Structures are given as C-alpha cells and as structure tokens.
C-alpha cells in the first residue's frame, strides 16, 4: 500500500523573478515603478537646482497679494483688491460653471441627434447626419469664435432697451437680448442665512433639499420595482415623485424668502440695471462646447442603440408598446452600457476644452491664474502646477462619478 504525499516545494531562486511566470509580471512592474520614481526625482531635483542657481525658489506666497484686476463674470464677491487666490477661485468657479452647463446641454443635443439619426424619416435622418459631420469636423475654437461674433454683431446694443422711448421692449417683460449678453431675472433671498440678498449657505440648503428629494424618489422607485417583481403590477409613482420634488423645494424657497430682481431699462441711461447678466463670452463658449461635443455624443448614442439586437424592438412592439415607449423603456436602458464609457471621455473633453475661453475673454482659471496672475507675478511654474492640479482633480472626479454610475446601470448577471 502506497501513500500519497505532496511534491516537495522548490526553493526560491533569484532567477525565478525572470524565468517563472508567477513572478515575472511583478518584477517588470517593480522595475517600471522604480524607473518612473527615479525619473520624477531627477527632473524635480534638476528644476530646484536650476531655480536656486538663478536665485529663485518655488513659493505660493503671491496668492495672498492683491490681484489688481477686475473680473466681469463671477459667482462670488470679488474686486480688484481681492487676492490672487480669490481670483483663482473665481476662475475655477467660472470653469466649473461652463463645464457643467455644457455637459448638460451637450448630452441633450447628443441624445436628441443620435436617436433622430436612426429615424425612418429620410429628411430627419439626413439633417442629423449633416449636423454631426459638420460640427465634429471643425475645431471647437472656430465654433467659439463664430458664435461669439454672431452674438456681438447680430444682437442690439443695450441702449435699444433703455428709456421710455426704447426701440425694443423686454421679451415677456423679463429678458433682454443684447450684444453684451442676455439679461434675465436674478433670484435672491430676503430671509435665511446671511444678509439680505442671500448667501452661499442659502443655496447650499436648496441644493441639499434637491439631493434629499433625489434619494427619496429613488427609494420610491425601488419599492415600486420590488412590488412589480412580486405581483407583476407596477404602482404609479409619477404623482408621488412630483410631490417629493416640488413640495419640499417650494417650502424651503418660501421660508428663505425667494424674490426676484428684474432687469430695469429705466434705471440708467447707458446700460440695463438689475437682473442677472449672462455675458456674451459665456454664451459663446457654452453653446459652442455643447453643439461640438453633442455631435460626438450623438455618434455614441447611435452606436449604443445599434448594439441592441433588433429582436428587442420587435418583442416590445409585439407587446403593443409604441416606438417612444420602446426607446425609453427597452432600448436606451440597455444601450447605456455602451454609451456611458465614451461619454465619460466627452465630459472630460468639455472640461479641458473650456480652457479655450481666453479666446473670447471669458475669465476661467486659464485666464485668471494662468493668464493675468502669471503675467503680473512671474510665477509661471507655480501657476502652471496649480492649473494642472485643478484639471487633474476635476477630471478624476468626473471619471470616478461616471464610473460609479456606469457600474450601477450595467447588466446584472444571474
């Protein structure tokens, strides 16, 4: 009778780091990591030595000095005596503003054009194809300049709305379209936190209520989905979701004392007063990034839809669903797993392409920190490093958020 024993384990030898497949990949990764670390150390040390030889050193103390320049488009209080750090924050907020707005509108344009490009109507399909081919094959900088020149040349000057003998009336008594931008009613709060006119805390409260409403509606929809799986009937959640969004928001706005500041054409002889001015540079940059990136998103949407087997559409139609319901309930939810990965890249491109704002005088971070501040202080290395850090952080946050969403909508295997 024989006994079964495990074969003796071979002793570890240094040659196994190269010859043994169990260790080879790890060895190459360690070598690559060490090489990269040494390269970064060499470049950084060389930079510090060269700066020291020139009598310079890396310092960010200039951020506390007065900026000495004005910024027209701003979301927070700022004047020429504010610090360079505050000017940089204004530029960051302006960059995030145009990036968020462009991502939303580009997604709308892209989904709209991508779906219609697959329409059975020949004219509609060809018009969307022309839109995609024209806008994605011309550099976005050219579109920014074209739209900016159209806005500044085609729109009337503000004096057309001024005085009792104005050539034009405010649209609906609320809006004024001029070559300087669009004047719209501006919301402010008479109660709540801070002085009259509202503060950032008031807006944070409103945003918090919207976030809570979002999670509340997700909870309601999840319960409806569970009941549908158990009984086969899905409860109608449309009215409840509408109340969840509307009632808390209206209550908070009422408590905070929401009011509106309207554009007043009689308050000044030279320019409109009151309201909120959306400057022409912001409009040009926002719209150009939206229609340019929307053309790329349209192709992503078309590819995602065509990746779904036609049998899905035929089966849904056999159940009596209309084309619109088939697209919303059957096709698009499955196509998201194909659409979202390239969509992440398009959102990143919008954020990075917003740096072209300097071409039309929009004060983003490239124009403030990387433009005027850099020229005034001469701190090119510090300013460029800060801009790199900002764009890297913004890109990583966008990528992380979209990847989390992508994981939530991917197909769940049994």
> 3-class secondary structure for the chain?
CCCCCCCCCCCCCCCHHHHCHHHHHHHHHHHHHHHHHHHHHHHHHHHHHHHHHCCCCCCCHHHHCECCCCCCCCCCCCCCCCEHHHHHHHHHHHHHHHHHHHHHHHHHHHHHHHHHCCCCCHHHHHHHHHHHHHHHCCCHHHHHHHHHHHHHHHCCCHHHHCCCCCCCCCECCCEEEECCEEEECEEEECCCCCCCCCCHHHHHHHHHHHHHHHHHHHHHHHHHHHHHHHHCCCCCCHHHHHHHHHHHHHHHHHHHCEEEECCECCCCCCCCECCEEEEHHHHHHHHHHHHHHHHHHHHHHHHHHHCCCHHHHHHHHHCCCCHHHHHHHHHHHHHHHHHHHHHHHHHHHHHHHHHHHHHHCCCCHHHHHHHHHHHHHCCHHHHHHHHHHHHHHHHHHHHHHHHHHHHHHCCCCC
Q: Is the pLDDT of residue 142 over 90?
A: yes
The β-bridge relationship of strands 181-184 and 276-279 is antiparallel
Is 374 within the bounds of a domain? yes
185 with 313: CB under 8 angstroms?
Answer: no
**Cβ neighbours of residue 203 under 8 Å, at least 6 residues apart?**
none
Q: Is the pLDDT of residue 176 over 70?
A: yes
Give the count of beta carbons closer than 10 Å to the beta carbon of residue 265: 22
Range 215-244 average pLDDT: 85
- Output the pLDDT for position 412: 64
Give me the chain's average pLDDT, please: 84
- Output the pLDDT for position 350: 93
Range 147-151 average pLDDT: 90
Least trusted range by pLDDT, from 2-6, 47-51, 245-249, 250-254: 2-6
**CA pair distance 283, 357, nearest whole angstrom:** 11
Is 240 within the bounds of a domain? no
Range 343-349 average pLDDT: 91
Is 120 within the bounds of a domain? yes
Strands of the 181-184 sheet, one edge to the other: 176-178, 181-184, 276-279
Range 297-311 average pLDDT: 88
Smallest CA-to-CA distance from 364 within 355, 372, 373 is with: 355
Q: Is the pLDDT of residue 166 over 80?
A: no
- Output the pLDDT for position 188: 82
Least trusted range by pLDDT, from 132-146, 171-185, 216-230, 382-396: 171-185
Q: Is the pLDDT of residue 413 over 70?
A: no
Is 23 within the bounds of a domain? no
pTM above 0.85, yes or no: no
- Output the pLDDT for position 130: 93
Is 174 within the bounds of a domain? yes
Range 349-366 average pLDDT: 90
Q: What is the total count of domains within the chain?
A: 1
pLDDT in tens, 195-215: 555 567 788 888 899 999 989
Q: Which residue did the predictor score with more confidence, 157 or 268?
A: 157
Q: Where residue 146 sits, what CATH number does that domain have?
A: 1.10.3720.10
Is 326 within the bounds of a domain? yes
Domain that holds residue 172: 83-181+265-409
Q: Which residue did the predictor score with more confidence, 221 or 412?
A: 221
Q: Which two tokens stand for residue 153?
A: 């040349």
Cα Rg of the chain, angstroms: 28
- Output the pLDDT for position 315: 84
Is 258 within the bounds of a domain? no
**CA pair distance 247, 240, nearest whole angstrom:** 10
300 with 339: CB under 8 angstroms?
Answer: yes
pLDDT in tens, 85-109: 999 999 999 999 999 999 999 999 9
Is 186 within the bounds of a domain? no
Longest alpha-carbon distance in the chain:
116
Smallest CA-to-CA distance from 272 within 350, 206, 175, 201 is with: 175
Q: Which two tokens stand for residue 123?
A: 């004219």
């Amino acid at each position: 009778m024989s006994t079964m024993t495990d074969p003796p384990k071979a002793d570890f030898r240094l040659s196994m780091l190269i010859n043994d497949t169990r260790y080879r990949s790890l060895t190459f990764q360690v070598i690559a990591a060490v090489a990269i670390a040494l390269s970064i150390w060499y470049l950084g040390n060389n930079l510090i030595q060269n700066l020291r030889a020139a009598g310079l050193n890396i310092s960010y103390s200039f951020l506390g000095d007065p900026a000495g320049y004005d910024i027209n488009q701003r979301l927070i209080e700022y004047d020429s005596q504010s610090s360079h750090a505050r000017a940089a924050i204004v530029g960051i907020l302006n960059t995030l503003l145009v990036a968020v707005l462009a991502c939303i509108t580009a997604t709308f344009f892209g989904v709209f054009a991508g779906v219609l490009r697959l329409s059975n109507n020949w004219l509609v399909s060809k018009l969307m194809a022309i839109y995609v081919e024209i806008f994605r094959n011309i550099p976005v900088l050219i579109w920014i300049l074209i739209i900016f020149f159209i806005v500044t040349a085609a729109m009337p000057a503000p004096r057309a709305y001024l005085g009792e003998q104005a050539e034009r009336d405010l649209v609906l008594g609320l809006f004024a379209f001029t070559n300087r931008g669009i004047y719209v009613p501006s919301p402010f709060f008479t109660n709540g936190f801070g002085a009259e006119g509202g503060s950032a805390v008031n807006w944070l409260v409103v945003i918090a209520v919207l976030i809570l409403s979002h999670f509340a509606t997700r909870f309601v929809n999840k319960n409806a989905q569970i009941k549908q799986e158990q009984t086969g009937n899905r409860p109608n959640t449309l009215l409840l979701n509408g109340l969840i969004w509307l009632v808390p928001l209206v209550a908070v706005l009422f408590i905070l004392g929401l009011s509106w500041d309207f554009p007043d054409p009689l308050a000044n002889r030279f320019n409109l007063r009151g309201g909120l001015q959306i400057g022409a540079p912001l409009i040009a940059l926002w719209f150009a990034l939206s229609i340019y990136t929307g053309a790329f998103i349209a192709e992503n949407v078309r590819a995602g839809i065509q990746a779904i087997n036609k049998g899905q559409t035929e089966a849904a139609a056999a159940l009596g669903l209309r084309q619109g319901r088939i697209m919303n309930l059957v096709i698009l939810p499955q196509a998201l797993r194909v659409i979202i990965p390239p969509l992440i890249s398009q959102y990143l491109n919008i954020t990075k392409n917003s740096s072209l704002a300097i071409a039309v005088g929009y004060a983003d971070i490239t124009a403030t920190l990387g433009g005027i501040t850099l020229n005034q202080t001469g701190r090119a290395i510090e300013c460029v490093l800060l801009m790199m850090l900002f764009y890297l952080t913004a890109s990583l946050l966008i990528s992380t958020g979209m990847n989390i969403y992508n994981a939530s909508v991917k197909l769940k295997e049994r």
